[in-house]
Amino acid sequence: MIRFIAKRLGSGLVVLFVVSALTFFLLYISSGSIARNILGDQATAEQVAMKEHELGLDQPLVLRYFAWLADALSGNLGASWFTSEPVANSLATRIPVTMTMVFAAMILIAFCAALIGVIAAVRRGWVDRVVQVGAIIGDSIPGFVIGVILVTVLAIQLGLFPATSTISPESGPDAWLYSMSLPVIALLVNGVTGGAQQIRSAVIKQLERDYVRTLRSRGIGEREILFKHVLRSAAPAGLTVLSLQLIGMLGGVVIIEQIFALPGMGPLAVAATGQSDLPVVMGVVMYTVVVVIVVNLLVDIINGWLNPKVRVS
Amino acid sequence: MKLGPKVAAAALVLSASFALTGCGGAANSGSAAGAATALTLGTVQDVRSWDPAQAHVGHVLQPYQAVYDTLILREPDGKLSPMLATDWKYNADNTKLTLDLRTDVTFSDGAKFDAEAAKANVDHFKKANGPQMAQLASVKDVTVVDADTIDFNLSTPDPALEYFLSQAAGLMGSPKALGSEGIKTEPVGSGPYVMDKAASVKDSQTVFTARKDYWNKDLQKYQKLTFKVLTDLTARTNALVSGQVDATILDPKNGRQAEGAKMKLAANEVDWQGLLLLDRDGVKNPALANVKVRQAINYAFDRKTILDQVMLGQGTPTSQPFGKASGAWSEELENYYSYDPAKAKQLLKEASFENGVTLEIPAVPGFETQISVITQQLADVGITLKVGAALTNTYTADIAAQKFTTIYFSLFQGQPTVATDQIVSTKALYNPFKNTTPELEAKIAAVRSGGADAGKLAQEVNKYVVEQAWFAPLFRINQMYYHNSKVNVTPQIQQAVPSVYNYSPAK
């Protein structure tokens, strides 16, 4: 197991390095006069030249990459070109907001999707049809549309929730709960409907296997078959779906955060990309890659723990 | 009983929602702007750095005004009044501006405001390479005459200098904090409010509290002032309508929703929109060198209809690029080019372009509708508009590199010299082909040395570029600034959002 984890971590590092190099070169080559972006349209040519020197943009690209890499390895991700705020600081204040939302949504998705999926698989009939229709409807309504509908109805018309985030250092956990509720609901609807559909198929597939028939023939109760055998075998499929949803959610959350004005990673990524604030963009990309690597690793470990067959292979 | 799949699916979606709303219970309905002594404003972006030398114009100036006083105060109608400077006057040839300063002002860190402090700010501004550094380009240096008097020594007369001293260049920070790392994240000024850093979150909200013993109580109308950063237009609309912010800037379409919720509009014309016919010497597109072609383009547009259809009528059709408040505006130029497709075709014929002219313009995100409408109207007179790839965030560099011969844009209408150096003079970014004539140069020079008459003299520059059809302006557009009934708002001339002093509690 330890060797397996070490191997996955090693390949993760390679991915991180490759992505950082690719992102760095693509960003720097495609963005023109960054200094002028920073100074605005009234800056003179001398001002622009001064700023380029200040930012080290007059150095060769490869040198700049290795300077960035050396700094990054020592934990220094640089500072925003526009605000001079250290990138590590920006990430540290924003990751908790985004991650709270993503994990709250994921836990609820896992719970609801598993419950609904298993019920649909076991009961079949109308419940199953509802789940299938729900999956289609859920997939066809983007999260941000659900977000806008929720704000209009629950925040503006009924006044149950704040329309945009009220999170601030003065506010207690209740403000977090109120501010996060609508965005989390907007995020989880697609996840629940999609996840339930996948889990349903995985459970049905297992229920049709020969070993279930054998277990039944030996008089073992349906409940025990389901919880002890079927769910365990169906878990890898469910986990994979959930991990893919989590990774997909890192993208979806960008728009949700904009709509609800949550100070998470989304607005930071959008603003930095729009302005070509490259140190910040690099920071955001590195964070995303790390999350993807960690999530995949965790899923592999949990799968191995649930199902010895995976460990052997 | 068998439920229909639709009903059941709706129930499924709803039950997922209620799983969470159940825990929510009775939420506060967003009463951030509760008491009359608190004001919450929705802003489009956060301040990048609180160093006063990094301040910008318009809505990027507003937050700085909460903590920094300016040397000169600009009233809502544009009149310049005393602030930290009690009086100012030029010498005979407009090359030296002498300012008398207040003696009773301190900064929030205890430092005293005096001539040395003012000089330290100007020196810092001139070397800090901020976005508005050009505001002091004509200032050679500043000399301290005595404890409460300073001289601005100019290398060349600049009629806009007094105005600049009411803007970014006039913001005064504590000399002890200037140039330090600390001032980037926590401002130290002499203004009506001080930042409550513990309650502020970068890119989310900045909170200020009224400063005790502030010298000018007339400018300090609230106990608490909060800037809530709402980049997204929908989020701003929702925050205003639900009472989370007291005032914010929207657009005509979202404004309808705000009006439905009984929000009030404080409209103000700040920008003009239209075509910039940049290649007037025909370097890349020979047709544009012909003034008749450029005039034909101007006659092709039904400005009123475009305004009504695209901007819901929020603005005024115009043929001139200079703004109404600049002094360079004139009534006779307002409808200089009326909608006349026959005349446009006639002019093209006279210019020997009756077989058609092709213009290439870049697509501009946000102006897709406008560009498709003008494409159609130009086609009606025989001019083909070829829309190319969209402008990216390097557009300023692309414009400077003469990549575009024509662009569609929305531009700020500033003071005469500001507008001239933005779109007309050979230094202007929006004159990348450096077009000029001796006649125009003479008119511009007259404005620069015109002192108080600069506005009137700039009418000549305006007239020249309108007659020569350097541009094809369509309309001045309204900035849609909305507020609720708890606050009175006075629009500020030439600013999309009002100055911070223009808000007061409604009685």
Tell me which residues of chain A, numbers 94 to 123, contact chain B at a CB-CB cutoff of 8 Å: 108, 112, 116
Do A138 and A31 share a structural domain?
A: no
**Predicted confidence band of residue B263 (pLDDT cuts 50, 70, 90):** very high
Token duo for residue A28: 């720097």
Of A73, A88, A118, the one marking the end of a domain is A73
So what's the pLDDT on residue A311?
Answer: 63
So what's the pLDDT on residue B27?
Answer: 34
Do B131 and B105 share a structural domain?
A: yes
Greatest mean pLDDT among A87-91, B18-22, B153-157 lies in B153-157
Answer whether residue B250 is part of any domain.
Answer: no
Which DSSP helix (H) or strand (E) runs through A267?
A: helix A265-275
Given the cut 0.90, state whether the ipTM is greater than it.
Answer: no
Do A144 and A23 share a structural domain?
A: no
Answer whether residue A290 is part of any domain.
Answer: no
So what's the pLDDT on residue B35?
Answer: 41
List the Cα angle B20/B24/B30 in 5-degree steps: 125
Do B331 and B451 share a structural domain?
A: yes
Q: Which domain holds residue B499?
A: 20-244+484-505
Q: Which domain holds residue A8?
A: 2-73
- pLDDT at residue B463 above 90? yes
Answer whether residue B427 is part of any domain.
Answer: yes
So what's the pLDDT on residue A50?
Answer: 82
**Under an 8 A CB cutoff, do B131 and A85 touch?**
no
Task: Return the percentage of chain A with pLDDT > 70, whole number.
Answer: 95
Q: In this predicted model, what pLDDT tens digit does every residue of B399-458 receive, in sequence order?
A: 888 999 999 999 999 889 889 999 999 988 899 999 999 999 999 999 998 888 888 999
Answer whether residue A80 is part of any domain.
Answer: no
Answer whether residue B157 is part of any domain.
Answer: yes
Q: Residue B384: left if φ>0, alpha if ψ -120 to 50, beta else—which one?
A: beta
Task: Return the percentage of chain B with pLDDT > 70, whole number.
Answer: 93
Answer whether residue B30 is part of any domain.
Answer: yes
**CA A150 vs CA A155, B21, B248: distances in Å:** 7, 11, 22
Please state, as a whole number, how many other Cβ atoms lie within 10 Å of the Cβ of residue B399. Answer: 22
Q: Which has the higher per-residue pLDDT, B283 or A83? A: B283
What CATH number is attached to the domain comprising B87?
3.40.190.10
**Under an 8 A CB cutoff, do A160 and B26 touch?**
yes
Return the sign of the alpha-carbon dihedral for residues B187, B193, B194, B197: negative
Orientation of helix A265-275 relative to helix A87-123, angle to 10°: 130
Give me the number of domains chain A comprises.
2
Do B209 and B297 share a structural domain?
A: no
Answer whether residue B14 is part of any domain.
Answer: no
Nearest chain A residue to B245, by CA: A164
User: Which chain A residues have a beta carbon less than 8 Å from that of B394?
Assistant: 31-33, 36-37, 276
Tell me which residues of chain B, numbers 13 to 72, contact chain A at a CB-CB cutoff of 8 Å: 13, 16-17, 19-21, 23-24, 26-30, 32, 45, 48-49, 56
Do B398 and B413 share a structural domain?
A: yes
What CATH number is attached to the domain comprising A243?
1.10.3720.10
Answer whether residue B377 is part of any domain.
Answer: yes
Do B328 and B197 share a structural domain?
A: no
DSSP state of A152: I
Do B331 and B237 share a structural domain?
A: no
Q: What mean pLDDT is reported for chain A? A: 85
DSSP state of A86: B
Tell me which residues of chain B, numbers 469 to 498, contact chain A at a CB-CB cutoff of 8 Å: none
What CATH number is attached to the domain comprising B275?
3.10.105.10
Do B501 and B417 share a structural domain?
A: no
Q: In this predicted model, what pLDDT tens digit does every residue of B39-70 receive, in sequence order?
A: 999 999 889 899 999 998 877 899 999 999 99
User: Which chain A residues have a beta carbon less than 8 Å from that of B20?
Assistant: 108, 181, 184-185
Tell me which residues of chain B, numbers 377 to 396, contact chain A at a CB-CB cutoff of 8 Å: 392-394, 396
Q: In this predicted model, what pLDDT tens digit does every residue of B318-354 receive, in sequence order?
A: 999 999 888 899 999 999 999 999 999 999 999 999 8
Q: Which of A153-157, A258-262, B20-24 has the lowest mean pLDDT?
A: B20-24
Answer whether residue B3 is part of any domain.
Answer: no
**Rg (alpha carbons) of chain B, rounded to whole number:** 26
**Under an 8 A CB cutoff, do A168 and B422 touch?**
no
What whole-number distance in Å separates Cα of residue B338 and Cα of residue B358?
A: 22
So what's the pLDDT on residue A30?
Answer: 65
What whole-number distance in Å separates Cα of residue A147 and Cα of residue A256?
A: 7
Mean pLDDT for B197-224 is: 92
pTM: 0.83
Answer whether residue A117 is part of any domain.
Answer: yes
Answer whether residue A133 is part of any domain.
Answer: yes
Query: Which of B287, B285, B294, B282 is closest to B352 using CA atoms?
Result: B287
Mean pLDDT for B280-290 is: 94
**Predicted confidence band of residue B26 (pLDDT cuts 50, 70, 90):** very low
So what's the pLDDT on residue A310?
Answer: 65
Please state, as a whole number, how many other Cβ atoms lie within 10 Å of the Cβ of residue B133. Answer: 24
Closest residue to A155, CB basis, from B132, B134, B242: B242
So what's the pLDDT on residue B341?
Answer: 95
* Secondary structure of residue B445 in the 3-state scheme: helix
- pLDDT at residue A224 above 90? no
Tell me which residues of chain A, numbers 253 to 272, contact chain B at a CB-CB cutoff of 8 Å: 258-261, 263, 267-268, 270-271
Q: In this predicted model, what pLDDT tens digit does every residue of A266-294 receive, in sequence order?
A: 888 888 887 788 889 999 999 988 888 88
Mean pLDDT for B306-329 is: 92
Do B201 and B178 share a structural domain?
A: yes
So what's the pLDDT on residue B16?
Answer: 41
Give me the number of domains chain B comprises.
2
Token duo for residue B382: 């025989």
Nearest chain A residue to B396, by CA: A41
**Under an 8 A CB cutoff, do B231 and A271 touch?**
yes
Do B385 and B494 share a structural domain?
A: no
Q: What mean pLDDT is reported for chain B? A: 89
- pLDDT at residue A118 above 60? yes
Answer whether residue A305 is part of any domain.
Answer: no
Mean pLDDT for A234-259 is: 86
Do B498 and B467 share a structural domain?
A: no
Nearest chain B residue to A116, by CA: B12
Do A241 and A123 share a structural domain?
A: yes
Answer whether residue A281 is part of any domain.
Answer: no
So what's the pLDDT on residue A36?
Answer: 75
So what's the pLDDT on residue B23?
Answer: 35
So what's the pLDDT on residue B90?
Answer: 94
- pLDDT at residue B286 above 70? yes
**Under an 8 A CB cutoff, do A150 and B17 touch?**
yes
So what's the pLDDT on residue A32?
Answer: 61
Do A104 and A51 share a structural domain?
A: no
Answer whether residue A79 is part of any domain.
Answer: no
Task: Return the percentage of chain A with pLDDT > 90, whole number.
Answer: 10
